[in-house]
Structure 1
Amino acid sequence: MTEKTALTPSTHTAPPARFSHGVRKGNILQVAGQVGFLPAEEGKAPTPAGPTLREQTLQTFANVQAILEEGGASWDDVMMIRVYLTDTAHFAEMNEIYNEYFKDLTVAPAARTTVYVGLPAGLLIEIDALAVLD
């Protein structure tokens, strides 16, 4: 039986509850929902990358990528991305940022679902991902 391994990159703080930022078991890697917090600083509360959707989305992508890399994966391995937005008015802008971010992807893009949710004050976006490694 393959062991399940929790993934917490050095850029991330410990999760606020009993869950892992990412988990890998065999060739499956699940990234928990990530938000646009800047890399962790000792003794400092998590801080959003900025007030704009662009700042938070790009930082959220970086946070997801850090977990993918910690588990030996890359965006090429991602099969599914879920995007959680707090405002339906952000959908078009998020798609522009998303398309720009993944414009150089050379493999088939991941499947994606976008839903609208409530997040803690000041946070505009959350993203999770499922990767399957060769």
Structure 2
Amino acid sequence: MHAYALDSYRQHEESTYDRTDLLLALYEALDQRLDWAWQATNEGRTQDKLQHIRRAADIVSQLICALDFDADPDVATKLAGLYSYMDGLLADAMLYNDLSAIETCRRLVQPLMKAWRVAVEQVRDSHEPPRAA
């Protein structure tokens, strides 16, 4: 029963988010999962590492699916390449316990997350939704 209630709550939360909030939530969740994956890898907790890296890879896949090539094809293409690169790094982290691959992913996602946060705040101030690439 508890799991059902939690799933219902998550579905409700997702349905009330707008696109900009969802993208920001994805970036924040990815950054958190990468942090947890780094910690688990560093501490030799294999199952936790695998869980966090798999979830991070799922989030990267969601970011790829969220790209809007109609809004800005150049930006969307560049982000698709970046996300694909991150996906490869996550595979290396999973297979080879590569902490530097996780660190590189974090260095890539954090500026995107911060920039998106600023964009969301600016849009909320102007009341115009940004177009996601």
| The structure with more radius of gyration | 2
Same fold (TM over 0.5): no
Q: TM-score, normalised by structure 1?
A: 0.31
Structure with more of its chain in strand, by fraction: 1
Structure with more of its chain in helix, by fraction: 2
